[in-house]
Amino acid sequence: MRGNIEGICRTVLQRVTPDKREREEIEGLARKLERRVSSASAEFGVETKVRVEGSVAKDTWLSREPDIDVFMRVPASIPRKSLGEVSLQIARKATEGSEQIERFAEHPYLEAKVDETRVNIVPCYDVKRGEWLSATDRTPFHTDYVNKSLNDKLRGEVRLLKKYMKGIGVYGAEIKVGGFSGYLCELLIMHYKSFRNTLEAFAEHKQRLVVDIADHYSGRERELRLLFKEPLAVIDPVDKGRNVASAVQQQKLDTFSAASRAFLKEPSLDFFYPPPTSKLSLKELKRKLENHGSSILFLVFGKVNAVPDVLWGQLYKSQRSLRRLVQLNDFNVLRDAAWSDEKHLSVFIFELEQRTISPVKRHVGPPLERKQECEKFLAKHLNGDGTLVGPYVDGGRWVVQIRRKHVDAVDLFSESLKNGGKGSGVAEKLSESIRRGFRVLADDEISKVYGENDVFAEFLTQFIAGKPRWLESVKAEN
């Protein structure tokens, strides 16, 4: 649906603003959870101050998408190394009988599904402002600051920004996403005063954007820019030493800027509610891969014994290392990605210009003026078994042609991963899983995995298409 920005925003706002019945349900559940956590804390002999924080406490949550964040403020006398373990015991007891997932930020916390609502039970220390002992200690102060600063109109603008960011895939500060947090959205609306103004600011964003709502660095702009060198710096009003936007990856920032330009030019509900991905049939998948021109390799492995946040950190670290491995062996990487269901299946995807390359490569040595280095180069290559041609002088340097160790990317991956990827930069938890078994599949060899997992099939369909859904929608209607 197309329309003017004001009309689209009114439509979205009606959808994302909770009605009276939904508010009563969520607020009732939040109070019940506060009581449960307080009771469980007392049972374990831990003195806590329990309070709901986050979007529910600030009334910036989206209809039908509530997350309830229950914080336990514990005494500073509890050792830092024990904070996660103590809080997990309390959280598990408070949400007994519910689906539970252990997550990890700076320390472990529990996510549970209670009455079909996602609940996070998070520990922090009961400290004064600025006397932080853990990252989560700031959260109650964030809640108080936002509640003091936002009125009902601005809360509506926050809801629009959150829904828009979810629609274009840049919402969420967790490692898997690397995008904009809810608190960051609230601060941006406080600064720019509206959803539209925020998009206009980021649509014009080029090199660097700095926001200091509380004027911590008023008159000290040079100091501010020296302290915060990220492309987006939003200074925390409750902690002048913290950049709230530090978790935002460059790619997510760029996506937000590009999507903002497109929306402002041609507003559409599809930015907020992107059409679902229609996965390719197996026949279509095979045809697409055959006609793609490049070669797509898949590294498939099973369960990784790590909580989701640790898993995604290790996936991205390993992805970067494997990309370097491929490039150092002279394969040209067009794109790469990581995917996981966080339970039983994980996949790395590498799209290469070619799966196989020439067995011979040109290797350029030192310039002739570097006498000592030239002598070493000649000593190595004059009688070297791997030297096919040369040494000879070309362009003022010694040059040889040598045989490549790997000419097939499948063989490169298979050999590099056979011991769990040891020496190739694969992260520890992934290495353990790969050691238990992995497969390297090329192009339509992925068909069986594709056919057995609908979520992966949607991801791969989107990867093959390449363009974001919001851009596809804009172009389809031109």
- Distance set, CA 400 to CA 184, 330, 387, 441 (Å): 55, 16, 7, 34
Look at strands 67-74 and 99-104 and give their pairing. unpaired
| pLDDT tens readout for residues 11-47 | 999 999 999 999 999 999 999 999 999 999 999 999 9
Tell me how far apart the alpha carbons of residues 215 and 204 are, in angstroms, rounded to a whole number: 23
Residues in the chain: 478
Which string of DSSP letters, residue by residue, matches 379-441?
HHHSS-TTEEEEEEEETTEEEEEEE-S-SBHHHHHHHHHTTSSTTTT--HHHHHHHHH-EEEE
> According to the model, what pLDDT value does residue 438 have?
95
Same fold, 150-271 and 282-356+407-476: no
Q: For the chain, what are the domain ranges?
A: 5-136, 150-271, 282-356+407-476, 360-403
Tell me how far apart the alpha carbons of residues 363 and 348 are, in angstroms, rounded to a whole number: 30
Tell me how far apart the alpha carbons of residues 454 and 245 are, in angstroms, rounded to a whole number: 33
> According to the model, what pLDDT value does residue 140 have?
96
The burial class, CB within 10 Å (0-12 / 13-18 / 19+), for 123 is buried
Query: b/e for 143-168, b at 16 or more Cβ within 10 A?
Result: bebbeebbeeebbbbbbbbbbbbbbb
- Angle at which helix 195-203 crosses helix 182-192, to 10 degrees, equals 90
Helix (H) or strand (E) holding 251: helix 250-265
> According to the model, what pLDDT value does residue 82 have?
87
**373's tokens:** 């280095």
When the candidates are 3.30.413.10, 3.20.19.10, 3.40.50.300, 3.30.460.10, the CATH number that belongs to 5-136 is: 3.30.460.10
C-beta separation of 338 from 316 below 8 A: yes
- Distance set, CA 174 to CA 58, 428, 431, 463, 472 (Å): 20, 20, 23, 21, 26
C-beta separation of 41 from 70 below 8 A: no
Which string of DSSP letters, residue by residue, matches 148-185?
HH--HHHHHHHHHHHHHHHHHT-B--STTT--B-HHHH
**276's tokens:** 């679902």
Tell me how far apart the alpha carbons of residues 363 and 378 are, in angstroms, rounded to a whole number: 13
> According to the model, what pLDDT value does residue 358 have?
93
Q: Which of 131, 117, 147, 130 is nearest to 53 (CA)?
A: 147
pTM: 0.92
Tell me how far apart the alpha carbons of residues 136 and 242 are, in angstroms, rounded to a whole number: 13
CATH architecture of structural domain 360-403: 2-Layer Sandwich (3.30)
At 214, is the secondary structure helix, strand, or coil?
coil
Helix (H) or strand (E) holding 122: strand 117-125
When the candidates are 3.40.50.10860, 3.30.420.40, 3.30.1490.20, 1.10.1410.30, the CATH number that belongs to 150-271 is: 1.10.1410.30
At 446, is the secondary structure helix, strand, or coil?
helix
C-beta separation of 96 from 46 below 8 A: no
C-beta separation of 375 from 368 below 8 A: no
Q: How many CB atoms lie within 10 A of CB 226?
A: 9
> According to the model, what pLDDT value does residue 222 have?
83
- Cα end-to-end distance, the chain, whole Å: 13
C-beta separation of 118 from 67 below 8 A: yes
CB-based contacts of 319, cutoff 8 Å, min separation 6:
336, 337, 338, 348
* Conformation bin of residue 4: beta by default, left when phi > 0, alpha when psi is -120 to 50: beta
CATH architecture of structural domain 282-356+407-476: 2-Layer Sandwich (3.30)
Tell me how far apart the alpha carbons of residues 225 and 130 are, in angstroms, rounded to a whole number: 22
> According to the model, what pLDDT value does residue 419 have?
84
The low-confidence residues of the chain, meaning pLDDT below 70, are 1-3, 105, 473-478
| pLDDT tens readout for residues 434-472 | 999 999 999 999 999 999 999 999 999 999 998 888 887
DSSP state of 283: H
Tell me how far apart the alpha carbons of residues 398 and 375 are, in angstroms, rounded to a whole number: 10
- Distance set, CA 48 to CA 35, 81, 111, 141, 392 (Å): 12, 17, 19, 17, 76
Q: Which of 327, 321, 316, 328 is nearest to 352 (CA)?
A: 327
Q: How many CB atoms lie within 10 A of CB 35?
A: 11
